[in-house]
Structure 1
Amino acid sequence: MEGLNVAMKSTTSNGVFDEVHIPNSSICVSHLLYADDALFLGDWSQRNIANLTRILRCFYVSSGRKVNFSKSKVFGIGVPPQDVANWASPLGCEPAALPFTCPVSL
């Protein structure tokens, strides 16, 4: 996961992936990682979706760790649900909406 962290930092600093800017601060966020889970945050654009797909493909080729897109979800904030569904479909992801619940395994 450290390799993915480095890749995301590099792609945001080189303008390949447009992260989210937190209002009234200098903080920008492109990803959050915990164990083997990842959350990607970025501007809603076809360019960002395509580049994230490429980044994840490169991560797979270099690490052997593949994203299970059938278990992944795409959220759009302030985006019509049909747009979320249209952009999630080519990735093989499920469109989703906020708020959401996370299943807990005990």
Structure 2
Amino acid sequence: MAIVSKKISDLTGAEGTDNEFAAVVVRQYPGMDQPKALDVLVPELGQFKDVSDDLVILEVTMPDNSRRDVYVKLADFKKVAPNMDEIVKKARGTRGRVPGTRVGNGS
């Protein structure tokens, strides 16, 4: 007697070998409280329309230090200010020193 294991797609139930699968992690979904992993055949990935080129991801930190990610269509983000490209380009980075500050005690 032998034990046979097989891998099937969580999306379609189609069978495949390990090297035919991609691991897909769903990080956010309505009603979901933790990330979930799906096994998906590589050709099935084409069913997911990638909108990342038209998406702006914002991390918002509130005064109480609570954080959340906000996903905005690029076109809607650019409507907030007429010169949004320039505003983002000139914004300070999140790493390193704030522009205009000096290292040390200033002497």
Structure richer in strand, relative to its length: 2
Larger Rg: 2
Q: Structure 2-normalised TM-score?
A: 0.23
Q: Structure 1-normalised TM-score?
A: 0.23
